[in-house]
Structures are given as structure tokens and as C-alpha cells.
Amino acid sequence: MVLIAILSSVLASLGLSILSISLWRRKIRRELDSDAILGRLRTEVGELITELNGTTDRNIALIESRITALNSALNQANRTAELLEREAVKRDRSDRVYTELGRSRPLSIAVDDEVKSPPPDLDIADFDALPVRDKALVLHRKGDSIESIASDLDMSRGEVELIISLHERRR
């Protein structure tokens, strides 16, 4: 009886061992099966591609919005440049008109007595107190060009020429 119990126990242990070995063997085969590995790889690659596509779509949307903003800024800059060009043409025309008026038509505008030459130590506060006409004449006497006088006093070239020509006629 003891022998039968030992024998049945050994057979049961052997049967369980064979069963567990076959189960482990089947599991290892499934894990090492190339089709299963390829399936997992395909799944991972598909997820990566999906993630990359989402990132690419977001980046493209950002680039398109920046391009739209840039186009808007360029259009605004073009409009501003055209406006500035038209204003420059208008200013040039008005300068020519003032120049022609100063050269061709004698004007009967009363001009104050000649501006006395400023003393060499005329300081800036005294200069700023002078009327624009006197400032233009002082700068002209110093030898400044008509263009520099016009830009310093924020006047057109024609206005400066008119002031100087009227003053010279008065003399």
C-alpha cells in the first residue's frame, strides 16, 4: 500500500510536471512566434505614425497662421509705402510750386526790417525764441544749405527759398 501511494504520488508529480512543461513550452512558442512579434511591431509603428501625423498637422496649422499674419503685415506695409510715396510726390510738387512762386512772381509782402546778425555767442534759448523766418535767415547766414535748414525747421525747401529770396529782395 505504501508502495502504491508513493507510486501514485510520483505519477501525479510527473503528470503535473509534464503538463506544466507543455504549457510553458506552448507559451514560449507563442511569445517567440514571428507573426506575434510582427503584429506588436506593426501596432507600435502605427501608433507612432498616428502621433507624428497629429504633431505634423499642429505644426502645419501654426505655420499657416504665421504665413497669414505675415501676409497681412506685408499688405499693410505695402499700403503704407504707397501712401508715403503719394505724400512724397505731393510734398515734392508743393516744394516746386513754392520755389516757382519765389522765383517768378514778385510778392508785395511787407517784410520787417532786416534781422540783425546774431552775436557769435547767441545761445540756443535765444535762438529758439526767434520767429521761424528769423531762424531760417540766421541759419542761412551761417552757411547751412537750404535742405538742412528745411529739415531743421520742419519746413519745405520752397518755403525756405521763399523766405531767403524775400529777404534778399528787401535788401
Amino acid sitting at position 150: A
What is the model's pLDDT at position 65?
Answer: 95
Q: Give me the tens of pLDDT residue by residue for the chain, a chain 171 residues long.
A: 888 889 899 999 999 999 999 999 888 887 777 777 788 899 999 999 999 999 999 999 999 999 999 999 999 999 999 999 999 998 888 877 776 665 554 434 344 444 444 445 455 567 778 888 888 998 999 899 999 999 989 889 889 999 999 888 876
Query: Using CA atoms, how far apart are residues 72 and 105, in angstroms rounded to an integer?
Result: 49
Report the pLDDT value the prediction gives residue 96, as an integer from 0 to 100.
Answer: 78
pLDDT for residue 171: 65
